[in-house]
Each structure stands twice: as structure tokens, then as C-alpha cells.
């Protein structure tokens, strides 16, 4: 077995979060895919897939390893994102399911729902190192690589130098994309540095406040627990917000305490059923379904907000029963991968 390429364990170039895409200078814009970042490499018969944290992902995606082991080019180091279509939509939850200790389970999932590798950069191709080359050269190299393979599971991410096109991706994707990346055309690949810019997709949802947690001191509110009504008309927990900009936590806590009542959530609850009883302090406190807030969020996994949300405003004009799960439904369909370009 040959030795892996010296760049195979290179830390991916990362992006700094900004509020808007840059209007001046020479930039390339790309969709930000919602998957597992991966540096993939092959050196003769040695194939590796490394995560952003420097750990190997190869055993979790054997179908991608097999594809890379059969490429026409036998020496490369490429940068991309592992994505996984399930049926007609991309599923981050299905990606997470791959991180399983049982090889038999991984192999079964790989057969039933094979992953894809969405490529957008090239560190080395055909024995030629490109890490110090400008993005224009690296983009040409990754385009050459993908075109030569002509493989349905090895994809090329769309790219544009047109700011209006990039802004249209953000506006027209319905929140299905994770955002848009801006890369400087004349710069080398800066491993481990935040040398790119990213604008993350932000969406909003009106949610029922179904409960709250207290701060460690046991007095003031620390976070609001958010719920949405599902198809069975059950209020299910979908996430939390702890960003109370401009809020008086003392008065908010007093307001919430007046609404404490079982059950809070009638569907899926945070951490299982509430243990609140007789005014005792427990993990979380259920509330009557009367308060509605609008929050902003980025991504959804398994019917819940993947990260904490930001409170935008209170919605006294909104009826709690109007807060439905449909607000979280922004799937990205594999057929849209070409359309987005």
C-alpha cells in the first residue's frame, strides 16, 4: 500500500461569518451545503476521508471510499461536503445516523441510502500540489476532476462570480441551503484559517412558549422552550432560545411563573415528560399555551432546531394554534443541486 499524500490531513480552510456578501473585489460565490465537511484523498490504493476535526470518516462512508478507489486519477487531495439524499430530499439526520459503532449497520445504510460527495476545491491533482495556487487554478482542477469521473455520487458544487446570482441563491432557496460562501479568487488555500466569508441562511418561525428553564441560581429564567403543533394537533418541543435582548429577566420570570401549569408540551417534550410537581424546582417548568414568539434559526434536524434560536419579537397577535410544524419544512431536493446553479 502506498503512503497517503502529505496534504491528506490538511485542516480545511474555514469561513468567517458576516452579515452580507462582499460587493467589491474579486470573489467566487458558492452554495454552503448542509453536510459533513471532508478532505478526501487517494494515493494509488490508499484512500482517506478526513473530517474538519481531523478524524477519519472513511469507515462510516464505505460507498464513497469505494468510488474514490476507482477514480481515473490515482493521486489527489480534494475538499468537499458529504451529503446524503433520502428519497427526494437531503437529510442531515441520515448523515448523523452513519456515525454508528456497528460496521454491519453502516454497510446496510450505505447500500440503502448511499451518500454523495459535493466537491468545491482541490489541494492536489495528479501529483501536482495546488495548495499555494490561486482559487482560479484550483477551481479549474476540481472541474477537470469531476468531469473526468462522470460519477453520479461525485458532484461539483455550483460557483459564480456574479454577486446578484449569489444573492438570488440566498433569496430563492427557501432556506434549504445552509448559506453562501465567498472565496477570494487570487488567494491560495489557507488551511485552518478563516480565509473565506459566509452568510448563513436565516429563517423565522412563530413558536409557542411551552416551558422554561431557570438559571443555575434557581431564580431567573435562563431559556424559553419552544413548541409547534404537529399533524396530530400535539404541541411538540422543537428547541429553545436564551437570547433575551432588551428583556428584563426579572419581569419576564414573574410573567412566566404566573403561567406555570401542566402539561406544557402534549407531544414530544424536552428531556421526556416534565417532572414538575407541587411547585418544586425541576429540570423545566411547563406553561399554559398562551405565549407566542417569533425566532430566527438556521437549520432543522429531526423536526427540531439544530442550534439555539434568537428571539425577534413577541407575537400577541398570533394564536398559538397557528404555530405549526410546516414552518420548518424547507427540504433541499437532489434535483435542485443542478437548478441552484
Q: Beta strand 292-297 with 154-156: parallel, antiparallel or unpaired?
A: unpaired
C-alpha cell belonging to residue 316: 400577541
Q: Where are the alpha helices (DSSP H) in 74-225?
A: 92-97, 103-112, 135-149, 163-172
Grid cell digits, residue 259? 403561567
Q: Show the beta-strand stretches assigned E in 9-74.
A: 14-17, 27-32, 36-43, 46-51
Is 74 one of the annotated active-site residues of the chain? Answer: no
Beta carbons of 287 and 211 less than 8 angstroms apart: yes
CA–CA gap between residue 210 and residue 4 (Å, rounded): 52
Angle, helices 103-112/62-69, rounded to nearest 10 degrees: 70
Sign of dihedral through CA atoms 229, 235, 239, 243? positive
Q: What is the Cα 126 distance to its own chain's centre?
A: 32
CA–CA separation, 1 and 118 (whole Å): 27
Helices (DSSP H) in the chain: which residue ranges?
62-69, 92-97, 103-112, 135-149, 163-172, 249-257, 336-339
Angle at CA of residue 125, ends 121 and 127, nearest 5°: 150
Contact (Cβ atoms closer than 8 angstroms) between residue 177 and residue 160:
no
Q: Are 142 and 122 in contact (CB under 8 A)?
A: yes
- Of the residues 16, 32, 108, 198, only one is catalytic, namely 32
Q: Which residues are known to be catalytic?
A: 32
Amino acid at each position: 500500500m502506498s503512503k497517503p499524500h502529505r496534504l491528506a490531513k490538511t485542516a480545511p480552510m474555514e469561513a468567517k461569518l458576516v452579515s452580507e456578501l462582499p460587493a467589491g473585489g474579486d470573489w467566487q460565490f458558492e452554495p454552503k451545503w448542509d453536510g459533513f465537511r471532508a478532505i478526501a484523498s487517494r494515493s494509488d490504493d490508499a484512500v482517506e476521508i478526513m473530517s474538519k476535526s481531523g478524524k477519519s470518516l472513511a469507515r462510516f462512508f464505505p460507498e464513497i471510499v469505494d468510488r474514490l478507489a476507482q477514480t481515473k486519477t490515482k493521486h489527489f487531495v480534494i475538499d468537499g461536503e458529504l451529503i446524503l439524499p433520502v428519497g427526494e430530499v437531503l437529510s442531515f439526520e441520515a448523515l448523523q445516523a452513519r456515525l454508528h459503532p456497528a460496521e454491519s449497520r453502516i454497510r446496510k445504510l450505505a447500500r440503502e441510502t448511499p451518500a454523495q460527495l459535493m466537491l468545491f476545491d482541490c489541494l492536489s491533482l495528479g501529483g501536482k500540489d495546488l495548495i499555494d495556487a490561486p482559487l482560479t487554478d484550483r477551481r479549474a482542477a476540481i472541474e477537470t476532476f469531476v468531469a473526468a469521473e462522470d460519477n453520479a455520487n461525485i458532484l461539483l458544487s455550483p460557483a459564480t462570480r456574479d454577486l446578484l446570482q449569489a444573492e438570488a441563491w440566498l433569496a430563492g432557496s427557501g432556506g434549504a441551503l445552509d448559506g453562501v460562501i465567498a472565496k477570494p479568487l487570487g488567494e491560495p488555500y489557507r488551511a485552518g484559517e478563516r480565509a473565506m466569508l459566509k452568510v448563513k441562511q436565516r429563517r423565522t418561525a412563530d413558536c409557542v412558549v411551552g416551558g422554561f428553564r431557570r438559571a443555575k441560581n434557581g431564580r431567573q429564567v435562563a431559556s424559553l422552550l419552544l413548541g409547534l403543533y404537529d399533524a396530530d394537533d400535539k404541541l411538540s418541543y422543537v428547541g429553545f432560545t436564551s437570547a433575551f435582548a432588551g428583556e428584563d429577566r426579572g419581569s419576564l420570570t414573574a410573567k412566566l411563573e404566573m403561567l406555570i401549569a401542566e402539561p406544557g408540551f402534549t407531544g414530544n417534550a424536552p428531556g421526556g415528560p416534565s417532572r414538575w410537581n407541587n411547585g418544586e424546582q425541576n429540570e423545566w417548568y411547563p406553561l399554559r399555551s398562551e405565549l407566542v414568539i417569533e425566532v430566527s434559526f438556521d437549520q432543522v434536524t429531526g423536526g427540531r432546531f439544530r442550534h439555539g434560536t434568537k428571539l425577534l419579537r413577541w407575537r400577541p397577535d398570533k394564536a398559538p394554534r397557528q404555530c405549526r410544524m410546516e414552518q420548518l419544512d424547507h427540504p433541499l431536493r437532489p434535483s435542485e443541486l443542478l437548478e441552484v446553479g
